[in-house]
Amino acid sequence: MTAAQGESGDQEVLAQVSRRWQALDPVLPDPSFPIAAGGERFTAGPPGAPTAVAGCGHWIGEAGTLELCWGTAQRFGLTARVAGPDVGGALDELLSAWHDHLTAQDGLDLDDPDTSVNLSWPSRDVAGVRALVRHGLQPMAVVAVRTGRAALGEGGDLPPGVRIRRAAPADLEAVIGLEHEVVRYDANFGQVIDRPWTTDALRQEAAPALAADEPWVWLAERDGRPVGVLHAQRPADAGWIAGLTARAPVAYNLLTGVSPTERGGGIGAALTARFHTEAAAAGVAVTLLHHTVTNPRSVPFWSQQGYRPLWTIWEISPASTLR
């Protein structure tokens, strides 16, 4: 038996979870096995015939990277696969076991403000929500999805005086300036962190993207002045997130931002329409993006653009505040 196959009963749990998920939301993928090599395994239900199985992973990020702008430097994650007649009760058991496991670890400073615990849960699987709340987890962000080839590629009226064009290497500073505005704005909501190295990390991401052939980075300009950006990944670069949905090919919208004084005038919608048009032409089946759930601009905006929650990211920081 390898870690990827799990213990007896795990495959039966996964088969049941697969049926539940397909009934709840057909855009969800088949559930992956939850336990990474070396990770702790938790179960709920009768011994030898679990109804739920979970695994935890500890992740430490590297200073200087963009990944550390999207969350804390140390993250303790739980992957939970829950079936059976009492999903909330089984998840509750798993969360208690995880809490006890974390607090029993030597050498972990769970009070460090740069730590967090997290769990991704299918947004439409509402049976688990009360257990997550009871353990102190908060819905911080969603992975939102837009499906349907027909819906992709719908146009949007260009606001007067505004032009959308593909960005080029010479636009690097304009692109990262606008992207940094997005990080600063999102940092208000407690998950995204504006680090001392944010500009450099954005540069490291944007420079190779802009140097590539036909980059999926678009700028909105008013009278030649950059006022908005949308930076996306083609399916070839979005493999890291493609496993979150059953549909393929997947494109990912990494960052979208409009200058503070230009927000609410249709520029974000025009940039998004351009992205959707190119994604449709490239045969993309779904587009994914992350947004924070308390961002008062992104929540209605992405809904207007045809996105809806697929996964909700439940989180609490510091890690010691998990109950």
* Shortest CB 273 distance to ligand COA, Å: 9
Task: CB nearer to ligand COA: give 148 or 300.
Answer: 300
Which residue's beta carbon is nearest to the bound ligand COA? 268
Quick check: 14 and 81 in contact, CB under 8 A? yes
Q: Closer to ligand COA at the Cβ: 6 or 309? A: 309
Question: At residue 76, what is the residue type?
Answer: F
**185 contacts ligand COA (rule: CB under 6 A):** yes
Distance between CA 68 and CA 181 in Å, rounded? 16
Closer Cβ to ligand COA, 94 or 162, answer by number = 162
Pairing of strands 250-258, 286-292: parallel
Neighbours of 177 (CB within 10 A): 16
Taking CB under 6 A as the criterion, the residue among 2, 38, 60, 157 binding ligand COA is: 157
Question: To the nearest 10°, the Cα dihedral for 293, 295, 297, 298?
Answer: -40
Residue selected from 135, 257, 274, 275 as contacting ligand COA according to rule CB under 6 A: 257
Q: Reading across the β-sheet that carries 115-122, which strands appear in turn?
A: 41-44, 52-60, 74-82, 115-122, 308-316, 138-147, 286-292, 250-258, 225-233, 217-222, 162-166
Half-sphere exposure (Cβ direction) of 129: Cα atoms closer than 13 Å: 9
Joined tokens for residue 136? 């102190």
256 touching ligand COA, by CB under 6 A: yes
Q: Which is nearer to ligand COA, 51 or 198 (CB)?
A: 198
Residue 264 makes contact with ligand COA by CB under 6 A: yes
- Which residues ranging from 268 to 307 are in contact with ligand COA (CB under 6 A)? 268-269, 291, 295, 297-298, 300-301
Q: How far is the CB of 225 from ligand COA (least distance, A)?
A: 15
Which of 97, 164, 182, 206 lies at the binding interface for ligand COA (CB under 6 A)?
Answer: 182
Q: Are 190 and 315 in contact (CB under 8 A)?
A: no
Residues pairing with 56 in the sheet? 78
Q: How far is the CB of 246 from ligand COA (least distance, A)?
A: 23
The least CB distance from residue 226 to ligand COA, in Å, is 13
| Gyration radius from the chain CA atoms | 21
- Which segment (114-122, 178-186, 196-204, 237-245) binds ligand COA by CB under 6 A? 178-186
Give whichever of 250 and 269 is closer to ligand COA, judged by the CB atom. 269
Kindly give the interhelix angle for 198-211 and 172-186, rounded to the nearest 10 degrees.
Answer: 130
Identify the three-state secondary structure at position 282.
coil
Pick the stretch among 11-19, 23-31, 123-131, 261-269 that binds ligand COA (CB under 6 A).
Answer: 261-269
Residue 159, interface with ligand COA (CB under 6 A)?
Answer: yes
Per CB under 6 A, which region of 45-53, 86-94, 237-245, 264-272 contacts ligand COA? 264-272
Number of alpha carbons in the 13 Å side-chain half-sphere of residue 126 = 2
Q: State the number of binding residues for ligand COA (CB under 6 A).
A: 21
Query: Considering beta carbons, is residue 152 or 269 the nearer one to ligand COA?
Result: 269
Q: Quote the Cα angle for 114-128-323, to 5°.
A: 40
Q: CA–CA distance from 185 to each of 84, 140, 178, 180 (Å)? A: 41, 15, 11, 9
Please, what is the minimum distance in Å from the beta carbon of residue 260 to ligand COA?
A: 8
Distances (CA, A) of 12 to 5, 39, 84, 239: 11, 20, 11, 27
50 binds ligand COA (CB under 6 A): no
Give me the residues that bind ligand COA (CB under 6 A), please: 157, 159, 182, 185-186, 256-258, 263-269, 291, 295, 297-298, 300-301
